[in-house]
Amino acid sequence: MDNTIVAALLGLLEGLTEFIPVSSTGHVLLAGYFLGFESPGRAFEVLIQLGAIMAILGVYAKRLWHLFSSAPHNPASRRFILAVLLAFLPAAVIGVLAHEIIKTVFFETPALIAWMLVIGGIVILIVDRKAPTPRVTEVEQISLPMAVGIGFIQCLAMIPGTSRSGATIVGAMLMGVGKRAAAEFSFFLSMPTMAGAFVYDLFQNRDILDGQAIGNIVIGFICAFIMAVIVVKWLLGYVSRHGYALFGWWRIIVGSVVLLALAAGM
C-alpha cells in the first residue's frame, strides 16, 4: 500500500484513539507493523500527535483563555494550572531518562503492546465497575496531591498499549474522581505531556527526517486533527452516560486478535 495512504490511515487512527483509553500509540504501532510502515526513528508515531494537541487546544480554546486570563486574580485558576503542571512533571523527567529504551525496545515489541492492551482492558472493566464513589465531580476540584499521583500513574503509559488517557483516567477514578472529571483532567494533562513529547522527539530526530518522512508526518497530523476534534466533542457525553466498559472490551478484543495473528506468524 502507498505510504501516503498508510500515513493518512494511521493519522485517522491516532485521532480516533488518542483521547479514549485504548492507547493511540499502541494502535498506530501495531497497524504500522502489519501494514509494513517504517518511519525514521519512530518519529512519525510521536510527531503526528501534534494534530491531537491542536484539536484539544481548539475545542478547549475558550476555557483555556478564561483559565489563564483569570489566573492573576483567581486562586482557583492558579491552583488548577499548578495541578496540571505537577501532574506533567513525572512524565517529563522519566520520559527523557527512558527515551532510548522506550523507542528501541517497547516500540519494537508488538507482543508486549498486545498484552498491555489486554491487561489494561481488564483493569478498565474492573475499575469502571468497582471504582469508589466519587468525591470529586468537577475537574477543577482535583487536589495537588491527587494531581501528583495521577502524574506518576501516567508514566505507565510509556509502555505502548497501556494508554496515557487510560492510565490517567483509571488513576483518577481510583482516587475518587468522577468519570467525566477524570476524562477532562486527562484532556488538560495531555496538552503539556504531548507537546513536550513532540518537541523532544522532533529534536532527537531532527537529523534523520527527510522530505518523505516530513510529508508523511504532515498528512498524519492533518488526519489526526480532524478525527480528534470529532472524538473529543463526543467522548465526555458518552462516558458520563455509559462509563468506560466499551473501551475495556475494545482493548481486549484488539489485543487478543493481534496475539493470535503474531502466533500465526503474520
pLDDT digits (tens, 9 = 90+) for 176-228: 999 999 999 999 999 999 899 889 888 888 888 888 889 999 999 999 999 99
Contacts of 163 (CB under 8 A, 6+ apart): 21, 22, 23, 24, 26, 120, 157, 251
pLDDT for the residue 1: 67
Residue spans per domain, the chain: 3-263
What band does 231 get if pLDDT is binned at 50, 70 and 90? very high
Separation of alpha carbons 77 and 172, rounded Å:
20
Alpha-carbon span 57 to 2, nearest angstrom: 31
Record the cell numbers describing residue 123, joined without a space: 483493569
Using the 8-state DSSP alphabet, how is residue 159 labeled?
A: S
Closest-CA residue to 34 (of 212, 264, 263, 262): 262
Q: How far apart are CA 53 and CA 146, in angstroms?
A: 23
Beta-carbon-side half-sphere exposure of residue 188 (alpha carbons within 13 Å): 23
Closest-CA residue to 43 (of 216, 183, 202, 153):
202
Mean pLDDT of 113-135: 94
Distance CA 28, CA 174 (A): 28
Paired residues of 177 in beta bridges: 136
pTM over 0.85: yes
Q: In one letter, which amino acid is 257? A: V
The mean pLDDT of 126-146, rounded to a whole number, is 92
Banded pLDDT at 46 (limits 50, 70, 90): confident
